[in-house]
Amino acid sequence: MEWLRRFMYGRYGGDNLSKALLVLSFILLMITNLLPRALIGLELIAYIPTLVCVYRIFSRNIYKRQQENYKYLRIRNSAIVWFRRKMNITKDLKTHKYFTCPNCRQKLRVPRKQGKISVTCPKCKNSFKGKS
Ligand SMILES: [Zn+2]
């Protein structure tokens, strides 16, 4: 394994983005497998993320690869936050109702089973009626 260590010296190696690219390739392969035979050329597209992944692993431009990985992690984290927020709202729907202020589009959360209520937006003080 000494030759591998020497070969990899000064090269970037694997990271989260490379892993994600492999997963993406795998998913694309699964999808293209379901396509009709006539579209078989599309399979090649599925290998593009793998090629990018291999290129990144052996790249000597470590700084640039790190920047790409940071960018990817930022996007991934905001996607996770967005998804969690959506999940929380879904869980919350049994006990709370969400209104959107007709004036400023602010999202408002109100406990359920209170009948007809008057909601006042904390942001713009606009008042509107709703059914909880
Ligand atoms: Zn408002």
CA dihedral 32, 36, 39, 40 (to 10 degrees): 60
pLDDT digits (tens, 9 = 90+) for 50-99: 999 999 999 999 999 999 999 999 999 999 999 999 998 888 888 999 99
Predicted confidence band of residue 24 (pLDDT cuts 50, 70, 90): very high
In contact, 99 and 108? CB cutoff 8 Å? yes
| Distance between Cα 6 and ligand 1 center (Å) | 62
Cα(79) to centroid(ligand 1), Å: 26
